[in-house]
Structures are given as C-alpha cells and as structure tokens.
Structure 1
Amino acid sequence: MNFKGKVAIVTGSALGIGRGIAIALAEQGADIAGFDILTKENEELANEIKALGRNALAIKCDVSDKDQVRSSVNQVLKEFGRIDILVNNAGVFNFTYAFNSDYDETIELFDKCYAVNARGTYLCSLAVVPTMIKQGSGAIINVITNHVKRDKYRPGVLEQGYDASKWAQLSLTDTMAIELKPHGILVNAICPAATDTPMLRSYLNVADNYGCRSTLPSMMSIEDVGMAVINILNWGKDGSVGQAPLITSREDCENLKFYQGDGKTIAT
C-alpha cells in the first residue's frame, strides 16, 4: 500500500499499542485521526505526528457511544475528505470472575469490556464503511489478543469479561471480512501477546495482589506492533482477509511481510 495521502483513524491512540500504530502509519506517510478519551495524551500524539510532517487530528471520543463515534467520523471527513484505514485498537481490561460475591459490580465490569472492546469495534466499523464503499477501497484492522489463540494459550484467570469481548472481536473480524471484501474493503486483525504498555503494567501490578501473575519472559514494544499493522496493510487488495495472526515477538511482526496470516507465503 502507498500510504501517502491516505487517512487513518486509530482508536485508543493516546497511549500504548494505539500510539505505536499511529506513529508507524504517520512515518509511512498517512495522515492520522486519533480517537481517545485521554485528551492531553492524544494532543501530544497529534503534535508528534505533525512534527513528522503529517496532518493529525486529536479527537475526544468514547468508542462505546454511537453518537460520539458518528460525530467523530464526520469530523474526520470534514477535515480530510476521506477515510482509508481504520484500526480498532481501543480497549479496556478489568478483573471479572465467577466467584465475585458482588453481582452488580461484576456485571458492570463485564459490560464495560463489551462496550469498549466489542461494541466499539462494531460502531467504528459501521461508521466508516459507507465512506469506504463509496471510495471502492479501505482497510480495517482489529487489535485483539493472544488469549483467543486457545491452541497455544489456556483461558485467562479472572478475565472473563475481557476474553469474552475479545472473542466477539474475532467473530466480527470473520464476518466483516466476508461481507466487505466484495466492496474492496479488507478486514484483518492482529493478536498480540504481551506488549509493553501502561495497561499491561497496570494489570501485572493488580495480578500480583491476586497472586496470579504469570511469568513473562519478554514483551514486544509498541513499535513492533506498529510494524505488524503496516505489514498486514501491505498485503494489498489481493491479500488474504479475515486473518488474525498471533504475534509474540518482533520477529513475528517482521515475518508478516512474507506471510498472509495462515502461513500462506506471498512473494517478497
């Protein structure tokens, strides 16, 4: 993909993986609209992108709110006139578990994960698809998690809301990929393992208190994940769709240049 002149929306852009993806896209030549509820950090990202010579918008948006999503997408169209890429990265994590004696609290936490992780992915996708159809092209990347790779990872402890919402995100990737490819819209996902982000570090601190922290031999950087997204987008219109490759290392991210998800080698 030639990223110059392309417009990308990245949700959850202010920190962590979203920030890494937004900067990676800008370095390739794309203009960026970052959606986040963290105004200060999102503005700082926009300024960093402008320093790279690209245009950037920092938009305060709760992706679980349909009116905010629609308004934010309209703001992008008013400013840039097109939308070529959507990265559904915004996500929340909390501890939900079946033996919690506080029924109402558990449901509230579960609903929060679904609202941001699953509903947010759906709302943002619905909002950009009409524009992409008119353009005859577009790409959507959903940022999921290694937790959905059940052949390699056992179910998470105390993570029912998070994992359920991420499985929903995977299902949306499958169905949207089938429905949208005839319109020139390519839908794929990435499933990153441990990545050095503020959200993961917060999780590890809380997990210590529960006595359930897992040993992490290494973590990817946000720059690694940004590279993975660029490599998938470079598969182009003839590439696979509905793919959700597991990435656990920088090498995995680099190798996406040569593979289309399911291990199908493409020409280098």
Structure 2
Amino acid sequence: MSSPLTGTVAIVTGASSGIGEATAVRLAEHGASVAVVARRKDRLDALVAEIEAAGGTALAVEADITDRNQAEQAVAAVIDRFGRLDILINNAGLMLLGTVLDQDVDEWERMIAVNQKALLYMTNAALPHLLTAAEDDLRKVADIINISSIAGRQAWPKFGVYNMTKFAVNGFTEALRQEVTQKHVRVGVLEPGAVATELVSHNNQTVKDELAASDAKNIPERLQPEDIAESIAYMVTRHRRSSIAELWAMPTSQA
C-alpha cells in the first residue's frame, strides 16, 4: 500500500538541524522524495544517509538561500533531479534578541535576510512548479508551509525585530493563500511556541542564560522538533478538499 506522499517531491529549508531535520525525516517516512536545503553540507549529507538507510529518497542541496541566485539554483537542482515539486517547507529561521536601542543593526539585517528574504526567494522560485504539480493527477494539490512563531502573534521586549519578521511571515502567507488557493496550492502557516532546537544558540551568553532561566521556570517541557514535524506532515497529507491555513502549536506548559 502506498504512503500518503508517494511520488511527491518536497523541499525543506533549514534542514541541517531541529525542525527542518525532523520534518525531512517525517515526510520521507510518508513517501516523499525530500530535498534538504541548508549551508552545513556535512549535516545534510548525514541526514540524506539516514533517510536513505530507512528506505527513503533524499537530496542534499548546499545553499545560502538569503542569496536570490542560490535560492533559485536550489529549486532548479531539485527539478533537475526529480522533475517535479509538490511541497515547499520554508523552515529556515534565525532569532537574535536585543532591545531596539542596543541591538547590533547587523543582527537585524541577518534576521530579515533569513526570515523574510530567503522565504520570499524560495517561494518565488518554487511556485511555478507547485502550480504545475497541483494540476496533474498525482494528488491534484500542492503545498507551501511557512514556519512562523508565536512571535508572529505576540510581541515582547527584546523580540522587536524578530517579532517584525514573523508578523510579516504571517501576513505574507495569508495574502499568498488567497492568491493561489483556488488553484489548489494550499498555503499554511505554522506558529510554534518553545521548541528544543538550536534557535537560541546564536545569541550572546547573557541572552541565552536569561532565556534558559525563563524557560526553566515557565516552560518546563518544551516541544520537540518531532512534534512540529508531525504537525507539518498533518497539514500536507490532508485530502485536497481540506486546507489548514493556520496551525498554532504550543507546549502544554506555555501560557
């Protein structure tokens, strides 16, 4: 018996760790051929080996998708290898925290590049292929899932620019959904709360210590990447008549 995504091809960005890595594994388990995109080629190669050892099919694509040409080339490489594209998971993200007064403006630029520009470049390059896939007889539907955050719904001090990028992801996702949903390209946003990933690790030690103390007190059991991967898999395996426009996934302990 075939799996729900047998014959489909998926791209997962930010796939060298955390949510992206777990999502690639889960989609492969559902039968998709998965292209994993990130800058850390050694980790991508290890992930491909893991997926293939389990009987799946995967392709490592090393790219800095904040560069428009590299994003376009990444999508082209997937089409060259597999001949189609059915699912795009825009997962790559960066969270650097600080007050508007004191934070290094270069950090703002980095977040805007990863959280917004990379998502736009990948979506623009992938969309024509997704529209084509939605018209053929394999599933008669295609999917874009953008990974946002609870920070796309709620703002806090020191999160200002990160908040801005994630609120923007939510707005862009809804606008795009209205543009293409009747063409059976489903567009959804997934907003996780606290997840045990590398996201915090890019901050300075003071910020990391503050967040660790806050989480220990307020969120004793964070979500795991596999929890989010399962939610993504749920969104893209629905019958074509069903579109999950927004999914908010929170740790039970996070108020």
* TM-score class normalised by the smaller sequence: 0.7 to 0.9
Q: Do residues 217 (structure 1) and 220 (structure 2) align?
A: yes
Partner of 1:240: 243
- The DSSP-based 3-state class of the residue aligned with 1:214 is helix
Q: Name the amino acid aligned to 2:113.
A: A
Q: Report the counterpart of residue 115 of structure 1 in structure 2.
A: 113
Q: How does 1:69-218 map to 2 (within 5 A)?
A: 69-100=71-102, 106-135=104-133, 136=135, 137-150=141-154, 155-200=155-200, 206-209=206-209, 213-215=213-215, 216-218=219-221
Q: Which secondary structure state, in structure 1, belongs to the residue aligned with residue 109 of structure 2?
A: helix
| C-alpha distance in 1 between matches for 2:241 and 2:178 | 14
Deviations 1:154-197 (CA, angstroms, capped at 9, x unpaired): x2332222111111111111011000112210000111111111
> Any conservation in 2 of the 1:97–1:106 contact (CA below 8 Å)?
no
Residue 113 of structure 1 aligns to which amino acid in structure 2?
A: M
Give me the whole-angstrom Cα distance separating, in 1, the residues matched to 2:115 and 2:68: 14
**Residue of structure 2 equivalent to 1:13:** 15
CA distance in 1, matches of 2:152, 2:35: 28
2:65 equivalent to 1:63:
yes
Q: Deviations over 1:209-233 (max 9, x none)?
A: 5589523221111111111011111
**Overall identity of the aligned pairs, in %:** 26
Q: Distance in 2 between matches of 1:164 and 1:134?
A: 32
1:5 Cα shift? 1.1
| 2:22 match: secondary structure | helix
Find 1:32's aligned residue among 25, 34, 38: 34
* Runs of 5+ consecutive residues of structure 2 not aligned to the other structure: 136-140
- After superposition, the Cα gap between the structure-2 partners of 1:43 and 1:158, relative to the gap in structure 1 and judged at 3 Å, is same
- Unaligned runs of 5+ residues in structure 1 are 251-268
Alpha-carbon offset, residue 202 of structure 1: 5.5
* TM-score calculated relative to the size of structure 2: 0.88
Alignment of 1:241-256 (within 5 A): 241=244, 243-249=245-251
Native 8 Å contact 1:7 1:30 kept in 2: yes
* Corresponding residue SS for 1:75: helix
Contact 2:235 / 2:243 at 8 angstroms: preserved in 1?
Answer: no
Q: Which amino acid aligns with 1:91?
A: G
Contact kept, 8 Å, 2:23 with 2:226, in 1: the verdict is yes
Cα separation, 1, equivalents of 2:75 and 2:159: 31
**How far apart in 1 are the matches of 2:212 and 2:20?**
27
Distance in 1, matches of 2:41 and 2:172, equals 28
- Cα-to-partner distance string for 1:48-91 (whole Å, 9 max, x where unaligned): 11112121111111121110011111110010000000000001
Q: Is contact 2:97–2:207 with CA below 8 Å preserved after alignment?
A: no
Please give the alpha-carbon distance, in whole angstroms, between the structure 2 residues aligned to 1:134 and 1:240: 18
Q: Which shifted more, 50-59 or 210-219? A: 210-219
The question of whether the paired residues in 2 share the 8 Å contact of 1:110 and 1:160 is answered with no
Kept in 1, the 8 Å contact 2:71–2:121? The answer is: yes
Could you tell which deviates more after superposition, 180-189 or 6-15? Answer: 180-189
- The alignment of Structure 1 onto Structure 2 pairs a total of residues equal to 242
| Matches of 1:203 and 1:244, distance apart in 2 | 28
The Cα shift of 1:200 comes to: 3.4
Q: Which residue of 1 aligns with 2:138?
A: none
Q: Tell me, yes or no, if the aligned pair for 1:132 and 1:185 is still in contact at 8 Å.
A: yes
